[in-house]
Amino acid sequence: MKIRGGSKRGTQRSSLPMTPMIDIVFMLFVFFVMTFKIAAKEGEFGVKMPRSQREAGAERMLQLPIRVYLHADDDGALEHVEINGVQVANLDGLRTHIVSIVGDSAGGTDAPRVQLFCDYNLRYQIAMDALDAVSGYVEEGGRVVRLTDDIQLASPERADGIAN
């Protein structure tokens, strides 16, 4: 019994025709080249840059945020309010001072940002009343006057200076 080798009489060598395969490859290549869509360059997108101060005029000067500090006593009641270093006695004084800075008809996106800093032990209701005082008020006739919509609440600080 022969396991290896064999007679060469029964084996025929077969070959594949290469020309049709090369033709198919070139047709696929031409198809993909013709259907390829070139994407727009990355990094090119429309950005609206702010106008320079000369174009914007004097009314659109760079506005710094209004910093409001609410100081509490040991019981959590409002001791005094400080606005950009100016001390006022209560929340009515806060609203009056904000109106003098912002004006009656500010509101919206043109109004400056108000940053509200509260003592750690200040009562929650007083903080919300201060938020109402800087956001706007209702006149006697029922008209709502918005002072600012951009209010940022800072983390309360403990007496030892650690932010919560």
Q: What is the pLDDT of residues 13-44, one digit of tens each?
A: 788 889 999 999 999 999 999 998 876 665 55
pLDDT at 45: 55
Tell me the per-residue pLDDT of 56-79, one tens digit each, with 9 for 90 and over: 444 444 567 888 888 888 888 888
CA separation for the pair 128, 123 (Å, rounded): 9
Average pLDDT over the chain reads: 76
**In the chain, how many domains are there?**
1
Q: Is residue 146 part of a domain?
A: yes
pLDDT at 163 over 60: no
User: Is residue 127 situated within a structural domain?
Assistant: yes
Q: What residue numbers bound the domain in which 132 lies?
A: 54-153
Contact 125, 163 (CB under 8 A): no
In this predicted structure, what is the pLDDT of residue 44?
55
* 84 occurs within a structural domain: yes
DSSP assignment letter at 148: -
Give CB contacts under 8 A, 24+ apart, made by 14-20. Answer: none
Instruction: Tell whether 132 is covered by a domain.
Output: yes
pTM recorded for the entire structure: 0.54
Please give the pLDDT value at position 136.
81
How many Å apart are CA 60 and CA 56, to the nearest integer? 6
